[in-house]
Amino acid sequence: MGGNKERARERREQRLQEISLLRTIPYSDHQRWWSKETIAVVTGSNRGIGFEIARQLAAHGLTVVLTSRDECVGQEATRVLREGGLDVAFHQLDVLDPSSIQLFVDWIRQTYEGIHVLVNNAGVNFNVGSDNSVESAHMVVATNYYGTKNMIKAMIPLMRPSAAGARIVNVSSRLGKLGGRRNRIEDLNLRRKLGDLDTLTEELIDRTVATFLQQVDDGTWTSGGWPQTFTDYSVSKLAVNAYTRLMAKILSDRPEGEKIYVNCYCPGWVKTAMTGWAGNISVEDGADTGVWLALLPDQAVTGKFFAERREVSF
């Protein structure tokens, strides 16, 4: 068993080294479908993975809108990137506040008329190390799942027509995998429904997280068959993964020139404030797959889950 873990660790380290090398290779001219007029919005981008995603997208030549709940913190993060010569704008955004989202939508429409890329990075996790408290479950689900869903619904009407297609990238986690061997929902029937695009609906996803939160409130969640590690975070990311697949299916019917491609990815255990700085992956490598998905020349990729630039199962 120890040998298998060591080999898995070595393979991951090798893959991260490959990714670090890929990040240094510029896109060729025929691969660049974007320009300075390409607008990318990154939520929760005042620090951590979101900040690095914003930095890398701007370094590739896009115009990036950095967002933060705290206006002062967001302005400071934007100043740092601008001083580095990057084209970055800022607007306050709280993905939990409908009025804040509407103000943001109005500002985007007036300032840029629309956007081409949306990266849903805003998220929270209150468990560190071996902790598995669900004390903040309502906040975690509201931010990670409903915040992501609300932003997607708000931004879709602003996605600008393009031959390359607009892009939505949801930052998620392998902790929310349906098929995970150690950290999955025990209810086989529910897993099948969530995993089958023919039975997957927004109502089913909402009902699943609502059932979990109800059990948190009445104290029965420990016997509810939910994931055993970082339970509230895992449930919220499972919902994000399911919603990614659902939206990709719904949006697949859009005509050519108005396509929107939706994918999600796991950045890994990144060394940021969210992991208590205990992660084993650099923020640069953690952001890489999200940036890669946002800029992917092969725009037909949609409804997929990635980690380290490779597709993984939901």
Q: Which residues are catalytic?
A: 233
DSSP label at 235?
A: H
Q: What angle do CA 51, 73, 128 make, to 5 degrees?
A: 65
In whole angstroms, what separates CA 250 from the centre of its chain? 19
| Residue 92 bridge partners (DSSP) | 68
Exposed, middle or buried by CB within 10 Å (0-12, 13-18, 19+), for 75?
middle
Contact criterion met (CB below 8 Å) for 251 and 260: yes
Tell me which residue of 79, 73, 81, 82 sits closest to 46, measured CA to CA: 73
Contact criterion met (CB below 8 Å) for 221 and 134: yes
Which residues fall within 8 angstroms of residue 159, CB to CB, at 6 or more apart? Answer: 114, 115, 116, 118, 166, 258, 260
Contact criterion met (CB below 8 Å) for 287 and 308: no
Helix, strand, coil abundance in the chain, percent, nearest 5: 50, 15, 40
